[in-house]
Amino acid sequence: MSIDADALKTELLSQIEAAPDLAALDGVRVSALGKKGRITAAMKGLGGLDPEARKATGQALNAVKDALAAAIDARKDVLETAEMNTKLEAERIDVTLPVRPEQRGKLHPISQTIDEVVAIFGAMGLSVREGPNIEDGFHNFTALNMPPEHPARQMMDTFYLKGEDGEADMDRVLRTHTSPVQIRTMQSEKPPIRIIAPGRTYRSDYDATHTPMFHQVEGLVIDKDINFGHLKGCLQEFCDAYFEVDHVPLRFRPSYFPFTEPSAEVDIGCSRKGGELKIGAGDDWLEILGSGMVHPRVLDYCGIDPEEYQGFAFGMGIERIAMLKYGIPDLRTFYEADVRWLKHYGFAPIEVASLERGLTP
């Protein structure tokens, strides 16, 4: 029996070259070099040769083995690269494609309105402060000139959290207004103070114009010679910018708040002809906020000398001004989390409200 190493080499090399993919190549490798492969079988056959031929053929077979292993490695490289390229081609993504329009979220009118309010007062030099939603009695009431027996405490239908004894804890109240942020700011900062404080507020009410959770924005300006004229000018400028009307008629109606003196509720002029609400003209009035000159006792509570400093404050309902500007008829719909409602009344994200580029995107 003779073994033709050259013929084996030519045949197996051409099989390696012809292997179309990695799986086929591995099949060729097993059939050539595997335990039951052609080369292995030929090696086993060496025993039947005479010693001289055994040596020469053995060497030749070893050389063929090395050549095949090298050829398999080379072919493997080629096939791997090809496979990778096909895969990359198939999984190619165009990163410049725009997002699908239906996946775009909308900004809730409350967020949009707060952004607008912050932009307008920000341009006047007022900066934003925040306070906790769970307040203590001192900040929500006492320091605002509402001592424990004060009837105004009962006027605000308030949520108290339970204390350890299971009874309402008078020192854990869901804040009934953003006014406690006035107190916190005056306690921690020195005048001059020029701030607004937008945020959530809570009262136990529920009907078409009241929800248990709603939003306010507080304003507070304290300096040495602040007077009521500054309050009027500030609110006039705000209303003109916010409602995007040249000169919104404002009416300051004498009112009472324990923490301001004098106090005024502010109405804006509007018309409701034919059921259509128009802001800035007509002979109807709509209340949008409470305001006044900070009560000297409040300044005292905060360690600010009322002989040296005075200021004004206001508190405005965010939902109220959002409903007026954007024609949203029912307050309760703000919190029903209905995506169709949000699609209709919501705002494009990203384009943040600014006075320079227009408040509403």
For ligand PHE, the binding residues (CB under 6 A) are 177, 179, 257, 260, 290-292, 313-315
Tokens of 192: 């001059």
| Minimum distance from residue 194 beta carbon to ligand PHE (Å) | 15
Tokens of 144: 């605002």
Q: With respect to ligand PHE, which residue has the nearer C-beta, 57 or 176?
A: 176
Question: Which positions ≥6 away from 132 have C-beta within 8 Å?
Answer: 175
Q: With respect to ligand PHE, which residue has the nearer C-beta, 113 or 260?
A: 260
| Minimum distance from residue 254 beta carbon to ligand PHE (Å) | 13
Tokens of 12: 């197996």
Q: With respect to ligand PHE, which residue has the nearer C-beta, 318 or 359?
A: 318
Helix (H, G, I), strand (E, B) or coil at 100: coil
| Minimum distance from residue 290 beta carbon to ligand PHE (Å) | 3
Cβ(133)–Cβ(175) below 8 Å: yes
**Whole-angstrom distance, CA of residue 265 vs CA of residue 314:** 9
Among the listed residues 306, 243, 310, the one whose alpha carbon sits nearest the alpha carbon of residue 279? 243
Tokens of 146: 């509402």
**Residue 101 DSSP one-character state:** G
| Minimum distance from residue 175 beta carbon to ligand PHE (Å) | 10
Which residue has its beta carbon closest to ligand PHE? 315
CA angle 209, 290, 170 (to 5 degrees): 80
Cβ(266)–Cβ(252) below 8 Å: yes
| Minimum distance from residue 253 beta carbon to ligand PHE (Å) | 12
Q: With respect to ligand PHE, which residue has the nearer C-beta, 109 or 292?
A: 292
| Minimum distance from residue 314 beta carbon to ligand PHE (Å) | 5
Q: With respect to ligand PHE, which residue has the nearer C-beta, 12 or 217?
A: 217
Q: With respect to ligand PHE, which residue has the nearer C-beta, 279 or 298?
A: 298
Question: Which positions ≥6 away from 327 have C-beta within 8 Å?
Answer: 277
